Amino acid sequence: MLTDPWPTAFLFFAAAAVLPLLPKGLLRALLLLVVPLAAAWQIWTLDLGTFAQVEFIGFQLDLMRVDKLSRVFGLIFCLAAFLGNLYAWHVRDPVQQVAALLYAGSAIGAVFAGDLITLFFYWEGTAIASVFLIWARGTKAAYHTGMRYLIIQIGSGVILLAGVVLLYRETGSIAFERMTLGSVATWLIFISFGIKCAFPLLHNWLQDSYPAATVTGTVILSAFTTKLAVYALARGFAGTEILIYIGTIMTLFPIFFAEIENDLRRVLAYSLNNQLGFMVVGIGIGTEMALNGTASHAFAHILYKALLFMSVGAVLYRTGTSKASELGGLYRTMPLTAMFCLVGAASISAFPLFSGFVTKSLILDEAGAGHHPYVWAALVFASAGVLSHSGIKIPYFTFFAHDSGKRPAEAPTHMLWAMGITAFLCIAIGVYPDPLYALLPYPVEFHPYTMGHVVGQLQLLCFALLAFGVLMRTGIHPPEIRAINLDTDWTYRRFMPAVVTRVADAVSQFWSAKMRFWLRRVEAVVGRLFQVYGPEGRVAQSSPTGAMVLWIAVFLGVTLIVSFLS
């Protein structure tokens, strides 16, 4: 029997059930805003502990485990749902509205799941709900992209379920708690989390799907799936050393793809992968301060990444394109959007007084203090790369580069409100991080605004700006051209089709050769029989018809006698 209070996710599910019954317009839009606020209030006021326990096929499921780690992720998910729905105020498509509610509710439900079975149901819920934000684009390409996305996300859930079953057989427990990579079960769970977190070589679903979604769908997608995976890794695999090196690779490889990418929403998708790497490194280090850094950076990242996707989405909404080669000079008619984009760019680049500075520093300091000098150096290099491809490239080529001749109107008012609130939060967290630090899982004794932190970061940013300027002036920086850049999707766009074509050709040729061989043999046998038994054959010439009839009569008689005797 379900005990009070009801799980926060159920608020979203109830709203999703009620929304199609309401008349289109204001009531639906208000419901989309009220539900995240009510959910955040419930999370804020709940005491720490485990609630909403229910029996299910012999297992006790903990639907609502509230601790400081789940609380901070639950709050930012509610805030992201509110901002995403405000940004999508103009959308009147009930499919997108219901999908957004179910998606946010599933992600929040997974965050508060106290057992692996509950986690599995919500895990698959995020996959099924979110794909409709891609299909809502209504194009053939979006349909195929959504199918690829769904296969990968559902596959992650199937792997998770297999790991849960094996873990239960080994330990007799389904509790969602810290694990070690000592068995097939935990490796399967780890891989499942890694797929959703976009580990290297498992990441391209992110760059494939997010830019294919609707203008508003991409903003909502950017908040939940990957950060849910970060939470799951922090809950289940904190201190797992391999995550340090996986995260380091994640911070580095997207830089080069982002630099040559023309589609600005794909640039932001690569940047998202880069920022996830910092969080994964913090989880791998596993100290209390590193986990604080991961949680706080996830909180800040959801905001500034949403802000960047909102600004590029507003440009796409007004101009119909997000290609850098087709944009430029838009600050003239979209000044507020440009300003908000700059706030997001400063935040992701970790400029002092912006949110990224006060959260990323926690992870960098722990990497340095934990005797990982090469990891620390890689993270510093990655931080400079972020400034180049997201801090500079996004606003520069969208608003300030060559004049594209486009003069679109400013973004709609509700989009500006969503961007304005998000920009305010990015600045507020950067200027006064103590309220965010107070939400973190462990006590925080950290002062980001020391002389060493500020000067060191400003030096890094200034050198990165100088490098960008030199590359642009010398023409070394990759030009923005119309092109499709292949990542690991080369495997299914080029390699696998080529392999299948080659194999199919080889099999076809082999089959044709074998068929020709046997046809020749059959034709030879038939020809030989025809020569012997045909009308002009030797048998026909030496055996008259009467003799053949006589022999048939003899065989028939013998057959009848044998049948009678038996």
Q: Which region, left, alpha or beta, applies to residue 81 given φ > 0 means left and ψ of -120 to 50 means alpha? A: alpha
Is the model's pLDDT at 1 over the cut of 60?
no
Q: Is 306:80 a contact under the CB 8 Å cutoff?
A: yes
How close are the terminal C-alpha atoms of the chain, in Å?
A: 76
Q: Give the CA distances from residue 546 to residues 543, 558, 559, in Å, rounded to whole numbers and listed in that order.
A: 8, 19, 20
User: Which residues are CB-contacts of 297 (< 8 A; sequence separation ≥ 6)?
Assistant: 275, 278, 279, 282, 356, 359, 360, 362, 363
**Higher-pLDDT residue of 349, 483:** 349
pTM for this structure? Answer: 0.86
Other CB atoms closer than 10 Å to residue 17's CB: what's the count? 12
pLDDT digits (tens, 9 = 90+) for 470-481: 766 776 666 666
Lowest mean pLDDT among 38-42, 319-323, 524-528: 524-528
Other CB atoms closer than 10 Å to residue 184's CB: what's the count? 12
CA-wise closest residue to 478 among 397, 559, 415, 536: 397
Helices (DSSP H) in 396-495: which residue ranges? 413-431, 434-439, 451-474, 490
**Higher-pLDDT residue of 517, 248:** 248
Q: Is 181:230 a contact under the CB 8 Å cutoff?
A: no
Residue 229: its pLDDT value, please?
A: 96
Helices (DSSP H) in 172-319: which residue ranges? 184-196, 204-209, 215-236, 242-260, 264-285, 288-319
Which residue's structure tokens are 């149901």? 121
pLDDT digits (tens, 9 = 90+) for 129-138: 999 999 999 8
Can you tell me the distance from the alpha carbon of 563 to that of 270, in angstroms, rounded to the nearest whole number?
84
As a whole number, mean pLDDT of residues 11-17 equals: 95
Is the model's pLDDT at 3 over the cut of 60?
no
How buried is residue 438: exposed, middle or buried, by Cβ count under 10 Å (0-12/13-18/19+)? Answer: exposed
pLDDT digits (tens, 9 = 90+) for 290-304: 999 999 999 999 999
Amino acid, res. 296:
S
CA-wise closest residue to 411 among 190, 87, 176: 87
Q: What integer best gives the mean pLDDT of the chain?
A: 88
As a whole number, mean pLDDT of residues 348-376 equals: 89
